[in-house]
């Protein structure tokens, strides 16, 4: 039997794990590291670098080195969230005909799914080398507050990489599986997951092997990248103030500062101060200029304290939605690299009056949980484990006056099936259009559109007389089915909502064929000397 691996496809770093002898084991990548930078460099030839080799290209080749692509997955170029982060990227983003994001690097145009597929393909090859077996199937994790478009985009990326996704599960839920695998007693815990790009908070109850998610909340645009950018902006402003020169238009200089910011932020999790030293950051007729700055932990906290403060209401709301109080929690589990920041830990401790649990590696615990989920599905784990997750966003339909009518509220345990009656708004109406939406706004237009279909053949009656039952169902895999039925005529129409990530089946097939049949861009790692000669 081929192994099933668990993959945490992260914004900043990705990780894979497999279950061995009843316990998850992290799979090292081809370079020997437990985690892989989620970075891809596109070369002039169309070949690509992934991971640490790509990360080393970021300073010298910023326009063609793509990072934090997870924030672009399943998003429209016009979306407010994407516009907020797009100007930060040194590589070019454009809009496809259907409004999706397109990444331009060298002379190539690629979707975010293709870039993510390069990372997943590298992880797949690393796992095959480590396990000495072909890897076809995987459990892939996503932020709990990814909508269906973003989840489908992730599955499409895996398909392009040659992986069959058996299930997509939420990252904090996966972390709870790893946390609770060896727990003997029942417990209620909160998972606070702040990674490179997203924040998720999940409240769950673990009871005799049953992992029951009670509530989840979060922000898909709050994470370590935002902390890095605060440091970048500060250093750019400091350099401009001291030298009268702006470096904001110099992509190479900005990338050097970003790399230094990331390192400084990490150092300040363990030390009180660190020096940032970037010689020859700028040159003009007056000579070369250098950026040298002593950065203290206190200054970092001053620059980013509002970001940490912004995360606490999500934690509070998740606890409130679960029906618990902070004092009811037995444990608080920290997940994601940004939770190493002392200010984050201190803020959580002060809010909950409880010391966070730091017994697990925050970079690896999600992949470990995904590996446990793979064992649950395959039946290869002896301990009985049952996972009951929730839908993170409300599902419903559009009614008159641009109103969103919820049918399945957020934080409803899945699988679930709910029915709600509706009627017509016009006399002798023979057709109704069902517009399926996902989101939390009371205005239909502010939510995500998932599907549209028509129920035709209604009996002609006065407005308000017909009764049309709309039924929503969500299975354990998160697949949504919507059915509309006219009680009088028995006419019924249904749709299985499989939201498009923007790539059609034909486009996915074309990309896969390109990767299989051409050197662009499906080769394995290229030797470093060849890469350097091309750049």
Residue 83 makes CB contacts below 8 A (sequence gap 6+) with: none
Q: What is residue 377's three-state secondary structure?
A: helix
Rama region for 385: left / alpha / beta (φ>0; ψ in -120 to 50; rest): beta
Our answer to whether residue 400 is catalytic in this structure is no
Which one of 128, 193, 228, 363 is the catalytic residue? 193
DSSP 9-25: --SSEEEEEEEETTEEE
Calpha distance 119→41 (Å, rounded) = 11
Calpha distance 196→56 (Å, rounded) = 18
Calpha distance 236→257 (Å, rounded) = 8
**Contact between 273 and 265 (Cβ < 8 Å):** no
Which one of 128, 171, 398, 485 is the catalytic residue? 171
Residue 436 makes CB contacts below 8 A (sequence gap 6+) with: 395, 396, 397, 449, 450, 451, 452, 480, 482, 495, 497
Which one of 8, 114, 148, 363 is the catalytic residue? 8
Q: What is residue 123's three-state secondary structure?
A: helix
Q: In the chain, what are the helix, strand and coil shares in percent, each to the nearest 5?
A: 35, 35, 35
Q: What angle do CA 338, 339, 341 make, to 5 degrees?
A: 80
Q: Which two tokens stand for residue 471?
A: 């039924």
Q: Which two tokens stand for residue 191?
A: 């998972």
Which one of 70, 121, 155, 159 is the catalytic residue? 70
Q: What is the 3-state secondary structure (H, E, C) of 195-226?
A: CCCCEEEEEEEEECCEEEEEEEEEECCCCHHH
Residue 245 makes CB contacts below 8 A (sequence gap 6+) with: 239, 282, 284, 289
Calpha distance 89→291 (Å, rounded) = 22
Our answer to whether residue 350 is catalytic in this structure is no
Our answer to whether residue 8 is catalytic in this structure is yes
- Active centre residues (catalytic): 8, 70, 171, 193
């Amino acid at each position: 039997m081929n192994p099933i691996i668990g993959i945490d496809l992260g914004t900043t770093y990705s990780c894979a794990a497999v279950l061995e002898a009843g316990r998850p084991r992290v799979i090292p990548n081809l370079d020997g590291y437990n985690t892989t930078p989620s970075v891809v460099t596109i070369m002039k030839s169309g070949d690509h670098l992934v991971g640490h080799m790509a990360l080393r290209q970021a300073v010298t080749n910023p326009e063609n080195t793509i990072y934090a692509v997870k924030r672009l997955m399943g998003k429209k170029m016009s979306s407010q969230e994407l516009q907020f982060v797009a100007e930060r990227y040194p590589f070019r983003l454009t809009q496809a005909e259907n409004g999706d994001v397109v990444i331009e690097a060298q002379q190539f145009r690629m979707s975010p799914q293709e870039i993510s597929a390069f990372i997943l393909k590298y992880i797949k090859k690393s796992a095959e080398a480590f396990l000495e077996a072909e890897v076809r199937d995987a459990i892939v994790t996503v932020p709990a507050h990814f909508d269906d478009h973003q989840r489908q985009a992730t599955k499409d990326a895996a398909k392009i990489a040659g992986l069959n996704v058996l299930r997509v599960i939420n990252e904090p839920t996966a972390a709870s599986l790893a946390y609770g695998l060896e727990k003997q007693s029942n417990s209620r815990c909160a998972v606070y997951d702040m990674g490179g790009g997203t924040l998720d908070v999940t409240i769950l109850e673990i009871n005799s092997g049953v992992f029951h998610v009670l509530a989840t909340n979060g922000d898909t645009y709050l994470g370590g990248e935002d902390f890095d950018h605060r440091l970048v902006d500060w250093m750019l402003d400091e350099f401009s103030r001291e030298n009268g020169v702006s470096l904001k238009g110099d992509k190479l200089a900005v990338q050097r500062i970003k790399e230094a910011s990331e390192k400084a932020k990490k150092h300040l999790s363990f030390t009180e101060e660190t020096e940032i030293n970037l010689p020859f950051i700028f040159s003009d007729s007056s000579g070369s200029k250098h950026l040298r700055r002593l950065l203290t932990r206190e200054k970092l906290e001053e620059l980013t304290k509002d970001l940490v403060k912004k995360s606490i209401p999500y934690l509070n709301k998740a606890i409130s939605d679960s029906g618990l109080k902070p004092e009811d929690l037995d444990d608080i589990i920290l997940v994601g690299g940004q939770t190493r920041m002392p200010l984050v830990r201190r803020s959580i401790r002060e809010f909950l009056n409880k010391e966070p649990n730091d017994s697990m590696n925050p970079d690896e615990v999600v992949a470990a949980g995904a590996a446990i989920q793979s064992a649950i599905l395959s039946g290869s784990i002896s301990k009985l484990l049952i996972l009951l997750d929730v839908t993170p966003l409300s599902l419903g339909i559009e009614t008159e006056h641009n109103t969103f009518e919820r049918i399945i509220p957020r934080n409803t345990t899945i699988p679930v099936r709910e029915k709600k009656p509706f009627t017509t708004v016009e006399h002798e109406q023979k057709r109704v259009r069902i517009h399926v939406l996902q989101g939390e706004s009371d205005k239909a237009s502010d939510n995500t559109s998932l599907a549209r279909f028509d129920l035709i053949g209604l009996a002609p009656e006065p407005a308000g007389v017909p009764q049309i039952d709309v039924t929503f169902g969500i299975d354990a895999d998160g697949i949504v089915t919507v059915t509309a039925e006219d009680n009088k005529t028995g006419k019924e129409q249904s749709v299985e909502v499989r939201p498009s990530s923007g790539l059609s089946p034909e486009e996915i097939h074309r990309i896969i064929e390109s990767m299989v049949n051409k050197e662009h861009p499906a080769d394995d790692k290229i030797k470093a000397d060849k890469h350097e000669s091309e750049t």
